[in-house]
Amino acid sequence: MEQIRVFIIAIIVIIIAILAFTLTKSWIVYDRGVQVEAFNPKDLPEKNSDISVTPIKQNSSDWSENSKVFWKNTLVYPIGLVTESGGLSPEGISHRAKNLILVNLRTGIKKKLFPNNVFIWDFFPADFQKKSGFTTGDEPKFDSIQLEGKMLIFAATVDTNADGFLSNKDRKKLFMYDMNTDKFSELLPEHVFYEQLIWNAGKNRLALVVVKETKDPENPNEYIVNSAPLLYINDFSANKTSLLEISEN
């Protein structure tokens, strides 16, 4: 009986240890996000330029489960997909990932969007409306974004907090894949980072709240955010962008 008791206690201790390790590991991953090595921002694609095809060196067993077809002709596979509630997409789910693989179902051509792994905070085709509440007359209220054939990718590509990896703690840049032209581009200027999406900006128009980094006066090699939020407007129909300061003066 004593041996059986010791055996049962040992099994319980092992189970508790496994649960503790699993929960601790999950908390660390949630806190840090998708951990990847930071890379030189000069490796990113130039604005409004085609991105070269990056060879895919390893097979992925989860691609069929995590992939979705957008625009009826493009399969999108997020590498290292982790979903959380509270995203900007119409489902209200945030899609974390390390990179995106796109496969054109018409031509069979596949590509990686980023040359190296990054921390993708969210991505979604940007042409939808979703319920955001109710008006004073109890009518449903909707928020919309109308960028036809375009996908927005919010990603940390620069190790802004200098902790050695890219995560949710780093400031986000904004990228766009245009299905119509098969082009991938970075939208925000250098040292400008995403803060908030402004809904209902109109057809083929994007409006954001952004912040701009400036050189640290105490350390010229470092950048800090010490300015008020700015308004970024990109009118794709007119091919015009604006970066404005909103003030009472």
**pLDDT over 50 (residue 179):** yes
Could you tell me if residue 61 is inside a domain? yes
Give the Cα separation of 232 and 97 in Å (integer).
Answer: 25
The residue-averaged pLDDT of 188-196 equals 95
Could you tell me if residue 123 is inside a domain? yes
- Over residues 65-96, the pLDDT tens digits come to 899 999 999 999 999 999 988 888 888 889 99
pLDDT value at residue 68? 94
Residue 29 in tokens:
């991953």
What's the pTM?
0.77
Could you tell me if residue 240 is inside a domain? no
Instruction: Please count the structural domains in the chain.
Output: 1
Could you tell me if residue 172 is inside a domain? yes
Per-residue confidence band for 30, with pLDDT thresholds at 50, 70 and 90: very low
Long-range contacts from 157-161, C-beta under 8 angstroms, 24+ separation: 157/39, 157/41, 157/44, 157/114, 157/118, 157/119, 158/38, 158/41, 159/38, 160/193, 160/213, 160/223
User: What H or E segment, with its residue span, contains residue 166?
Assistant: strand 165-166
Residue 29 or residue 207, greater confidence: 207
Give the Cα separation of 54 and 110 in Å (integer).
Answer: 9
Could you tell me if residue 243 is inside a domain? no
Could you tell me if residue 48 is inside a domain? yes
- Using a 10 angstrom Cβ sphere, with 0-12 exposed, 13-18 middle and 19 or more buried, the burial of residue 60 is middle
Could you tell me if residue 137 is inside a domain? yes
Residue 217, Cα to own-chain centre: how many angstroms? 31
Which residue segment(s) compose the domain that 125 sits in? 35-188
Per-residue confidence band for 59, with pLDDT thresholds at 50, 70 and 90: low
**pLDDT over 50 (residue 13):** yes
Could you tell me if residue 138 is inside a domain? yes
